[in-house]
């Protein structure tokens, strides 16, 4: 099966089998091309403030001047960026990439311990941190001193309005804990000082590392996936070829609610649409759903990316169904399984199909996308491999399985990471000697080349010898009237080894356990039905809204032991 690509016969019209990864030598080449081609076009909008491609070009050059001219950072040095979706993020990002620095994207919600690990493991020489999270950085820096720290407020780069925003966040809403980081420089001061220096970009090639993108924090110690300039450029070209005529250069307006420090938004929102001159509407706090809907009402957006929980939250927020969706042509879901009930409700409200794709940090991330064709709707599939990508279903011994057989989804292509930073042993476990990335996801491929993900390997529940996949249970239960969202996990049972426990967040307060059990009796065979049901006000989620089954599973197991 490794040399068989059945999906090619069923590719959407105009999508090539392969892409030419030599079109660009680095991400920097893509940036420079867009800065020149779309100089007067809007690039990023935050809190109503818009900066053009030309302005981002100038600001990032100034910041690069500070990093190289004053801090003396050089190609290969690591720089940690701990920001939300604010204009400072692309400015800092592009400056770092232009200098050949390695960007260490850092989750602002990290605890001091988690931040310590990432700073120490990466060997970061500089940290850019939002004021709201500087108190965390202050604690981490006591253990892992970083030579250079730059702090910034949410309102920086927003002019007079930004000063008001900063004042309100600091003194009215009290959202910025007190901090003191000796020697830290303000972002605005860094720009001013950087403007005095001439910057010269070093030679950056496809083999050079662009990002240390940390992953695996929910399964153990976070590892830094080394994503090269070549990996990222390949994924830009692969997804761009798949979208094809859907994207209109210089005309797209994309909603960026997923954090840019996450690989999904980084590649899809920041780079793919930037290559085509798109305008990105930065949503700083998408958890404020009413505020999010208000932001959406102010712009006729053409594209949006998100995870299932984000789309589910929007369709259940008052006023969302009253928005103008006449310009919306592209809705992309990933990061976790898109549920049928959510996809169908999204399409019913917006008139735009929710197209599901699949990938992981280690694949930069896009590996598969559903065909974007007329009449597209929810298929239950994660799509077909994008150009220049192979998908193989393998057993535990690395044997390639036949069409329709269930095994581990493996990916091979130019977007697959170089390996894990300073962890050759972990790299060898993840990538086979012939280049296959083992995803840890269980799935199958049908005769058309469509890939179906059954579940995460570690999330599978074994009931009396039968494999039970949480995605299937959750997809059924979330359709039950009165259910907002849910998560299924396996817990120990003396009779059957494991049983299914279900955690439910109600949409209807009157929803009862018996109602859910009756629904499951109608839709699931005996061993798949939840034996235990627990109602919750909310479910634990990752920084991008992915439900963390492991936390629920660990908690449930403690109660049974």
Residue 304 pLDDT more than 80? yes
* pLDDT mean over 333-347: 91
pLDDT of residue 216: 67
Q: Decide: helix, strand or coil at residue 111.
A: coil
Candidates 231, 325, 243, 316; CA nearest to 278 is 243
pLDDT of residue 561: 60
The class (CATH top level) of 460-560 is alpha beta
SS3 content of the chain, % helix, strand, coil (to 5): 35, 25, 40
Per-residue buried b or exposed e for 426-464, using 16+ beta carbons within 10 Å of the residue's own CB:
bbeebbeeeebbbbbbbbbbeeebbbbbbbbeebebebe
* pLDDT mean over 226-232: 98
* pLDDT mean over 446-452: 96
C-alpha distances out from residue 272 to 22, 217, 266, 364, Å: 17, 26, 9, 12
Between 103 and 560, name the one with better pLDDT: 103
Residue 442 pLDDT more than 90? yes
Q: Dihedrals φ, ψ of 535, to 5°?
A: -85, 140
In this chain, the answer to whether the domains covering 27-40+51-204 and 460-560 adopt an identical fold is no
pLDDT band at 462 (very low <50, low <70, confident <90, very high): confident
H or E segment to which residue 522 belongs: helix 513-523
Report percent pLDDT > 90 for the chain.
84
Tokens 């008052």, located at residue: 318
Q: What is the CB-side half-sphere exposure of residue 28 using CA atoms within 13 A? A: 24
List of residues 6+ apart from 16 with CB closer than 8 A = 241, 387
Residue 130 pLDDT more than 60? yes
* pLDDT mean over 217-239: 87
Domain ranges of the chain: 27-40+51-204, 460-560
Strands 437-445, 407-412: pairing kind: antiparallel
The least confident of 77-91, 361-375, 386-400 is 361-375
C-alpha distances out from residue 280 to 33, 74, 251, 268, 358, Å: 18, 29, 11, 11, 22
Where does 144-257 have alpha helices with state H?
Answer: 159-167, 187-194, 229-243
pLDDT of residue 190: 98
pLDDT of residue 217: 46
The least confident of 68-72, 242-246, 280-284, 375-379 is 375-379
pLDDT in tens, 372-407: 877 778 889 999 999 999 999 999 999 999 999 999
* pLDDT mean over 69-74: 97
Dist CA 88 CA 46 (whole Å): 10
Dist CA 547 CA 449 (whole Å): 28
Residue 218 pLDDT more than 70? no
* pLDDT mean over 352-361: 95
Residue 197 pLDDT more than 70? yes
pLDDT of residue 196: 93
pLDDT band at 560 (very low <50, low <70, confident <90, very high): low
Dist CA 252 CA 297 (whole Å): 17
C-alpha distances out from residue 2 to 19, 396, 401, Å: 19, 15, 9
Residue 467 pLDDT more than 70? yes
| Average pLDDT of every residue of the chain | 94
* pLDDT mean over 122-144: 97
* pLDDT mean over 257-281: 96
User: What is 27-40+51-204's CATH topology?
Assistant: Rossmann fold (3.40.50)
CA end-to-end span of the chain: 44
C-alpha distances out from residue 209 to 74, 204, 231, 460, Å: 13, 9, 9, 35
Candidates 53, 47, 48; CA nearest to 94 is 53
pLDDT of residue 517: 97
pTM to 2 decimals? 0.90
Residue 72 pLDDT more than 50? yes
């Amino acid at each position: 099966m490794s040399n068989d690509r059945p999906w090619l016969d069923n590719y959407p019209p105009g999508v090539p089998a392969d892409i030419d990864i030599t079109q660009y030598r680095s991400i920097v080449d893509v940036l420079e091309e867009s800065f020149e081609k779309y100089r007067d076009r809007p690039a990023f909008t935050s809190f109503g403030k818009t900066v053009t491609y030309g302005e981002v070009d100038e600001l990032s050059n100034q910041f690069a001047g500070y990093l190289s001219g004053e801090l003396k950072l050089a190609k290969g040095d690591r720089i940690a960026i701990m920001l939300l979706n604010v204009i400072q993020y692309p400015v800092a990002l592009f400056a770092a990439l232009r200098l050949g620095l390695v960007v260490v994207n850092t989750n602002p919600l990290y605890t001091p311990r988690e931040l310590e690990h990432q700073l120490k493991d990466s060997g970061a020489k500089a940290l850019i941190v939002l004021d709201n999270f500087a108190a965390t950085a202050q604690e981490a820096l006591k253990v892992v001193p970083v030579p250079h720290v730059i702090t910034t407020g949410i309102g920086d780069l927003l002019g007079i309005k930004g000063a008001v925003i900063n004042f309100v966040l600091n003194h009215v809403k009290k959202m910025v804990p007190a901090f003191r980081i000796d020697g830290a420089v303000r972002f605005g001061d860094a720009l001013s000082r950087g403007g005095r220096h001439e910057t010269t970009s070093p030679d950056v090639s496809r083999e050079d590392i662009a990002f240390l993108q940390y992953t695996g924090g929910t399964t153990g110690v976070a590892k830094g996936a080394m994503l090269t300039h070549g990996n990222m450029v390949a994924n830009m070209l692969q997804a761009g070829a798949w979208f094809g005529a859907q994207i209109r250069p210089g005309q797209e307006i994309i909603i960026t609610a997923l954090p840019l420090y996450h690989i999904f938004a980084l590649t899809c929102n920041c780079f793919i649409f930037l290559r085509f001159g798109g305008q990105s509407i930065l949503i700083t706090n998408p958890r404020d759903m009413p505020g999010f809907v208000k932001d959406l009402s102010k712009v006729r957006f053409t594209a949006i990316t998100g995870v299932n929980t984000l789309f589910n939250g929007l369709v259940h927020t008052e006023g969302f169904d009253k928005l103008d969706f006449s310009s919306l042509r592209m809705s992309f879901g990933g990061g976790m399984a898109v549920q049928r009930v959510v996809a169908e409700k999204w399409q019913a409200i917006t008139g735009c199909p929710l197209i599901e794709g699949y990938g992981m940090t280690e694949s930069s991330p896009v590996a598969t996308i559903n065909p974007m064709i007329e009449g597209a709707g929810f298929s239950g599939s994660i799509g077909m491999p994008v150009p220049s990508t192979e998908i193989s279903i393998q057993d535990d011994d690395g044997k390639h399985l036949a069409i329709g057989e269930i095994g581990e989804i493996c990916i091979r292509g130019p977007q697959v990471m170089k390996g894990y930073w300073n962890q050759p042993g972990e790299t060898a476990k993840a990538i086979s000697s012939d280049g296959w990335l083992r995803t840890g996801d269980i799935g199958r491929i049908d005769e058309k080349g469509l890939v179906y993900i059954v579940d995460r390997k570690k999330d599978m529940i074994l009931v009396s010898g039968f494999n039970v996949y949480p995605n299937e249970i959750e997809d059924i239960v979330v359709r039950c009237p009165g259910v907002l969202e849910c998560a299924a996990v396996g817990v120990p049972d003396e009779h059957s080894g494991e049983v299914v426990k279900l955690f439910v967040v109600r949409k209807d307060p009157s929803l009862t356990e018996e109602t859910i059990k009756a629904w499951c009796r109608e839709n699931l065979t005996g061993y798949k039905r939840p034996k235990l049901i627990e109602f919750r006000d909310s479910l634990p989620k990752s920084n991008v809204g992915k439900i963390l089954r492991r936390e629920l599973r660990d908690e449930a197991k403690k109660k049974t032991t």
